[in-house]
Amino acid sequence: MGNYHKSLVLTAACIGMCFFGVSMITLGAVLPSLVSKLDLNGLQTTTLVTFLPLGMLIGSLIFGPIVDRFGHKALLVPSCIIVLLGMEGLAFFESMPLLQASIIGIGLGGGILNGETNALVADISGESEKGSRLSFLGMFYGLGALGIPMLLGVLSKHFAFETILQGIGVVMLAGIVFCIPIRFPAPKQAQGFPIKEGIGLLKESSLLLFSFILFFQSGIEGVSNNWSTSYFGQVTDIPAHQALIVLTCMVAGLTIARILQIVVFKKVKPEAVLPYSLILTAVGFALLTFSPGFIRAAMGMTIIGIGLSPTYPVILSVLGNRYPSLSGTAFSVALAIALVGQTAMNGLMGIISQYTNGINLYPYLMIVSLFIMFLLFRRSLK
């Protein structure tokens, strides 16, 4: 079991990360079609949207100890299958309980895959190549996340969204079949669940510091994905179809930057890049203030994507190096805290937006969050 082909395992991890990108974007991309098809009211729509982060949080919490105990293969293929079944559920089901179960499945599988693939790549990489390899992996998140809205946008003129999801499902099934025979690294804690050691990790101040950097990172990404189009709709004259293009600029910037980081992180220590990327992200949000036009907004969102891109690869490569024997459990803690951040900051933005002109505060709230991340990172290096 110890012998495995590193490039095949890396390919399987990239397929899994692509599935995670698909799981993050699919619901938002097909929600308007689902609402009109099933005539959902506001409350029903809200409950559907809430089930995705709930599933992701459960997935992020459970994957680490299972991976450390049973190895990566025990989770990678099953979680890919769960995401695929959830996707097809959106295409086939019309009852609310079955749709909710599908969305929990998409979130659960996605949450597992996010942590599982990052931990897998960290485990098969040497200390100096972790940052570069994790950036390479992160690029596939962008491919999955960009691919779904692009396919839906291009093909929805000719096909129903159910047919498109079924077609995407066939491609995903081919990816799963590729992963099934691959041999993975052996479990690191094969003698039993590392519960005592896992609880011990919660007392590690450096792990908690890095996790709270991801708390804000995940919150900024979530708020940017969910609130940018509302902000442009209420604060600027940018029409709705252009606002969606501006939003895509963020994912495009993030994906292109991750491609560049594959090379950069081989020459520069990943930790050295992070402070500058946080400053760059703040510049991007500054461009969104004072009702920007389409060009300035697109530039701002592209810069935000570029600026946010190194945080996950940098923090996870540091954690992989510091906690090599319990990397899965360490990643579980960090990614669960990150998801809580995403939920909390989305909730805070929702409350703020209820007040008159509250949505105007969106870029300023993000800049304050980046400043906190900067301070936490400075502290974590001491």
Residue 151 and residue 110 in one domain = yes
| Exposed e or buried b per residue across 338-355, where buried means at least 16 C-beta atoms within 10 angstroms of its C-beta | bbbbbbebbeebeebbee
Residue 239 and residue 173 in one domain = no
Q: Taking 90 as the threshold, does the pLDDT of residue 11 lie above it?
A: yes
Instruction: For residue 165, give the amino acid letter.
Output: L
What is the spatial distance between Cα 333 and Cα 340, in angstroms, rounded to a whole number? 11
pLDDT (mean) for 49-55: 84
349 and 179 in contact (C-beta within 8 Å)? no
Q: Taking 90 as the threshold, does the pLDDT of residue 285 lie above it?
A: yes
Residue 239 and residue 151 in one domain = no
- Token pair, residue 74, equals 């025990």
Among left, alpha and beta (phi > 0; psi -120 to 50; other), residue 293 is beta
pLDDT digits (tens, 9 = 90+) for 143-197: 888 787 778 778 878 888 889 889 989 999 999 999 999 998 887 665 555 566 6
Q: Taking 60 as the threshold, does the pLDDT of residue 238 lie above it?
A: yes
Which of 50-64, 99-113, 339-353 holds the top average pLDDT?
99-113
How big is the chain by its Cα radius of gyration, in Å?
A: 20
How does DSSP classify residue 72?
A: S
Count structural domains, the chain: 2
Residue 230 and residue 370 in one domain = yes
Distances (CA, A) of 302 to 17, 147, 180, 250, 255: 22, 17, 37, 5, 10
Q: What's the pLDDT score for residue 197? A: 64
What is the spatial distance between Cα 88 and Cα 225, in angstroms, rounded to a whole number? 24
State which of 193, 209, 226 marks the end of a domain: 193
Helix segments in the chain, DSSP class H:
6-38, 42-70, 73-92, 96-123, 130-155, 161-179, 195-201, 205-235, 240-267, 270-287, 294-308, 311-322, 327-354, 362-380
Q: Taking 70 as the threshold, does the pLDDT of residue 2 lie above it?
A: no
Residue 302 and residue 181 in one domain = no
pLDDT (mean) for 37-66: 83
How confident is residue 29, by pLDDT bands cut at 50, 70 and 90?
confident
Residue 98 and residue 187 in one domain = yes
Residue 165 and residue 202 in one domain = no
Which of 23-32, 184-193, 232-241, 265-274 holds the top average pLDDT?
265-274
What is the spatial distance between Cα 312 and Cα 134, in angstroms, rounded to a whole number? 8
Residues 6+ apart with CB under 8 A from 132: 261, 262, 263, 264, 265, 266
Residue 130 and residue 141 in one domain = yes
Q: Taking 60 as the threshold, does the pLDDT of residue 1 lie above it?
A: no
Residue 164 and residue 226 in one domain = no
- Token pair, residue 83, equals 């995401």
Q: What's the pLDDT score for residue 262? A: 87
Q: Mean pLDDT over all residues of the chain?
A: 86
| Start-to-end C-alpha separation, the chain | 39
- Lookup result for tokens 């910037």: 253
Q: What CATH number has the domain bearing residue 247?
A: 1.20.1250.20
pLDDT digits (tens, 9 = 90+) for 67-96: 888 888 888 999 999 999 999 998 888 888
How confident is residue 117, by pLDDT bands cut at 50, 70 and 90?
very high
Higher pLDDT, 202 or 218: 218
What is the spatial distance between Cα 349 and Cα 362, in angstroms, rounded to a whole number? 7
256 and 135 in contact (C-beta within 8 Å)? no
State which of 159, 176, 193 marks the end of a domain: 193
Instruction: For residue 156, give the amino acid letter.
Output: S
Residue 213 and residue 278 in one domain = yes
Residue 175 and residue 275 in one domain = no
- Lookup result for tokens 């990790």: 201
State which of 176, 193, 210 marks the end of a domain: 193
pLDDT (mean) for 227-241: 79
Q: Taking 70 as the threshold, does the pLDDT of residue 128 lie above it?
A: yes
- Lookup result for tokens 């101040």: 205
**42 exposed, middle or buried (CB, 10 Å; 0-12, 13-18, 19+)?**
exposed
What is the spatial distance between Cα 51 and Cα 108, in angstroms, rounded to a whole number? 10
Higher pLDDT, 71 or 281: 281
Q: How many residues does the chain have?
A: 382
pLDDT (mean) for 109-114: 93
pLDDT digits (tens, 9 = 90+) for 298-309: 999 999 999 999
Structural domain harbouring 90:
1-193
Q: What's the pLDDT score for residue 65? A: 81
Residue 368 and residue 305 in one domain = yes
Q: What's the pLDDT score for residue 232? A: 83
